[in-house]
Structure 1
Amino acid sequence: MTTIPRLGAIAVLVEGDRVLLAQRKKTPDAGLWGFPGGHVEPGETALAAAQRELLEETGLSAEPVEYLTNVDVIRHDADGHVLVHYLLAAVLCTAPRGTLCAADDVSDAAWFPVPQIRAGDLPMSAQVAEVMDLAIRRLQDAG
């Protein structure tokens, strides 16, 4: 049982009309599609962690540009006790390089059309569509 929140980082990568997602192998979101990511190591920034996790889980490297938002992942047992509490820093990444291949903590990784994510056609982690849309707005504002 985790009683202290843990810090994680997720790499949000949107290219044109598609978004990169990874299917988680481990709890708390085993089997669900979400952004590549994982724990922030001691002394590591969330920007650097997102970049590292992206490479470890998908084989792609990309530039971490900015923090988009934070996502709380809190799961309780039947008695209301906290089982898992993560604070995920969502990091906008751009300019992907490399060959996409699932590795490490993911069973699959793929590019999905933005409309499919908005339609909710995949079993996804919480707030994937909202974070994706925030990334799209930031990219449009910057472009």
Structure 2
Amino acid sequence: MTLSAPRLGAIAVLFDGENVLLARRRNPPDAGLWGFPGGHVELGESALDAAAREVFEETGITAEPLEYLTNIDVVRHGAEGRVTVHYLLAAVLCRYVRGTPMPADDVTEATWVPLARLRAGGLVTSDRVLPLAEQALLRLQARRD
């Protein structure tokens, strides 16, 4: 596969109390890893809206996008040094509205994970999941103050 440009994606970071919503990816590049629900931003769609749409499509959870947290570059190279994956992910802080996690679309599992379990390192996750969860929690606390 030849890449002509980076792809834009959005991931949704949301909590229900001290539990963060995670999904196990079905497809490469992170197949089998736990991470935040998310996917491609469609033409004409904001990354905020894409995050809310993707979390619903992948987990059945309804979420309200609140604000951008950060951007994450995902660049991977093949054996010959060529770029095989290049995504720019907009990490979006979302508010949990309703729903029970049920895997769908391109995830095999979806669940609320206690932040303490994530901190303990018991899950094999995509890059930056724990730091992003911590950042989101701080931002949520600041929004309440």
* TM bin (shorter chain): over 0.9
Give me the whole-angstrom Cα distance separating, in 2, the residues matched to 1:129 and 1:99. Answer: 22
Partner of 1:120: 121
Letter in 1 for 2:106: D
Residue ranges of structure 1 left out of the alignment (5+ in a row): none
Letter in 2 for 1:13: L
Q: C-alpha root-mean-square deviation of aligned residues, in Å?
A: 0.9
Partner of 1:42: 43
Q: Is contact 2:101–2:112 with CA below 8 Å preserved after alignment? A: no
Report the TM-score when normalising by structure 2: 0.95
Q: Is contact 1:12–1:93 with CA below 8 Å preserved after alignment? A: yes
Displacement, 1:96?
Answer: 2.6
Q: Is contact 1:11–1:92 with CA below 8 Å preserved after alignment? A: yes
Q: Is contact 1:41–1:49 with CA below 8 Å preserved after alignment? A: yes
Secondary structure of the 2:80 match is coil
Secondary structure of the 2:103 match is coil
Letter in 2 for 1:55: F
Displacement, 1:16?
Answer: 1.8
Q: Is contact 1:12–1:135 with CA below 8 Å preserved after alignment? A: yes
Secondary structure of the 1:47 match is helix
How many correspondences in the alignment? 143
Could you list the runs of 4 or more consecutive aligned residues of structure 1 that deviate by over 2 angstroms after TM superposition? none
Q: Does 1:15 align with 2:16?
A: yes
Partner of 2:6: 5
Partner of 1:67: 68
Letter in 2 for 1:20: L
Q: Does 1:131 align with 2:132?
A: yes
Give me the whole-angstrom Cα distance separating, in 2, the residues matched to 1:64 and 1:22. Answer: 18
Give me the whole-angstrom Cα distance separating, in 1, the residues matched to 2:64 and 2:76. Answer: 31
- Comparing 80-89 and 115-124, the one that deviates more: 115-124
Residue ranges of structure 2 left out of the alignment (5+ in a row): none
